[in-house]
Chains A and B, each alone.
Chain A
Amino acid sequence: MDNELKDLWSLNTSDVELSEKKIDTIVKSKSTTLIAKIIKTIKIEHIINLISFPLFLALTIYESKFILSIFTIVLFVPFLIYYNRLLIKLKQAKIELNVHDYLLKCYKNLKAFVLHYKIASTSLAVISFFVSLSYDFHKGEIKSVEELRLENSNYLVSIFAIVIGLIILFAVMWTIIHLLYAGKMKKLKRMIEELEN
């Protein structure tokens, strides 16, 4: 049976025709691998950060909100370091690794990517919540939370509603992330286990 299978396989000579045009198409094409897609997404986010942070910083300086400016700078540096590290980590999944190591890197990358989205979405929501709150305080209509409690009990209800809204938003976002990537992660993990056992 062994030789029979190999003999049969040796009859299999299917080949593609490689024209100059086809080579050109290959060379100019963009990768569609999972890792390539993740790296592309993170790079786009990184570029958006590089543009939006200085813009936001300029806005806070223009509006003389210097505490917010310092906060932006303090946040910007770790963000840059984090994105650089993440990209370096993602690029470690070299396609020429052996199959087990490559699948393991893909799995770890996907895990890091999912965690990144969970952290990023949570951080963004929390930051936007506090930024909008700080803008409310700067309007001059509101002096402090204590005064607000006395002057307008609806304010606490609004904060409560925002918090509930954020929790629902997190739940929806995390579910979407889970639906998009959990299946892929599960399949990768199963393949790694099959190779190891």
Chain B
Amino acid sequence: MKKVDFKDLLEENKHIISKLCRAYSNDQDEFEDYFQEVSLQIWKAYDSFKGESKISTWIYRITLNVCLSEIRKNKRRISTSPFKPDFDAADHPSDLHQEKVDNLYNAIKTLKKVDRAIILLYLEDKKYKEMAEILGINISNIGVKVNRIKHELKLKLNGQ
């Protein structure tokens, strides 16, 4: 794969990678680490991509595999500034929206890692069939899990 093609591929999919990585990061450094590792894995694995699934399905798999298998010690980090990924503030309609998104992320981060993966795919508007393909679990299990996690997330967002 040429670097130019790799850059194009990352540009097209960076929103997926960054949204997922952010849900597994506690700070900017961790986010950068995850993003870099996912990108590196895409670079290394692209030549073996056979096109059996959609490229986005492939990207979701790699991103979640990196984020779930990276088992880090829960460091007690003292953050001097709130964690903000490297994004352009102009992209956001308002601070209120951003605050809501931050609250959603905070609620997602309190979920178990596997539940996070499921709800992230649901929020990304993935069909159950594609979710099953990415996660490698039975399609009939997805609906039950999604409903349970949505309920849990709702409670967390309402501060219960």
Are A and B genuine complex partners?
yes
Which residues of A sit under 8 angstroms from B41, Cβ to Cβ?
Answer: 31, 33, 95
Quick check: is B37 within 8 A (CB to CB) of the other chain?
yes
Contacting residues, chain B, for A11 (C-beta < 8 A): 92-93, 97-98, 100-101
The one of B65, B114, B134 in contact with A95, judged by C-beta atoms closer than 8 angstroms, is B65
With a cutoff of 8 Å between Cβ atoms, the chain B residues found around residue A161 in the complex are none
A87 interfacial contact with B, CB 8 Å = no
Main SS of chain B's interface residues? helix
B69's partner among A8, A17, A188, A194 (CB-CB below 8 A) is: A188
Type the 1/0 row for A2-26, where 1 means its CB is closer than 8 Å to any CB of B: 1001101101111111101001111
In the bound complex, CA of A13 to CA of B104 (Å): 13
What residues of chain A lie closer than 8 Å to B125, measured between beta carbons?
Answer: 6
For residues 81 through 107 of chain B, which have their beta carbon under 8 Å from a beta carbon of chain A?
A: 85-88, 91-93, 97-98, 100-101, 104-105
What's the interface size class on B, roughly?
A: 35 or more
Known interface pairs A5-B150, A32-B37. Does A16 touch B18 (Cβ–Cβ under 8 Å)? Answer: yes
Query: By the criterion CB–CB under 8 Å, are B7 and A8 in contact?
Result: no
**Total number of residue pairs linking A and B with CB closer than 8 Å:** 148
A184: Cβ under 8 A from any B Cβ:
yes
Bound Cα distance from A99 to B65, whole angstroms: 6
Query: A57 within 8 Å of B by Cβ?
Result: no
CA distance A23 to B68 in the complex (A): 24
Mark each residue of chain A from 28 to 71: 1 if its CB lies under 8 Å from any CB of chain B, else 0: 01011111000000000000000000000000000000000000
Scan B1-43; emit 1 where CB is below 8 A from any A CB, else 0: 0010011001100110011001000000000010111011101
Interface set, chain B 51-83, CB cutoff 8 A to A: 58, 61-62, 64-66, 68-71
- Taken together as a complex, chains A and B put the C-alpha atoms of A35 and B48 apart, in Å, by 18
Known contacts A8-B104, A33-B69, A195-B136: does B150 contact A99 (CB below 8 Å)? no
Contacts of B124 in A (CB 8 A): 9
- B150:A26 contact, CB within 8 angstroms: no
Complex contact A96–B62 (CB within 8 A): yes
Q: A15-B14, A96-B48, A191-B114 are in contact. List 14 more A-B contacts (CB 8 A).
A: A1-B150, A11-B100, A15-B91, A18-B7, A18-B14, A23-B6, A27-B40, A31-B44, A95-B41, A95-B44, A97-B65, A99-B117, A188-B69, A191-B68
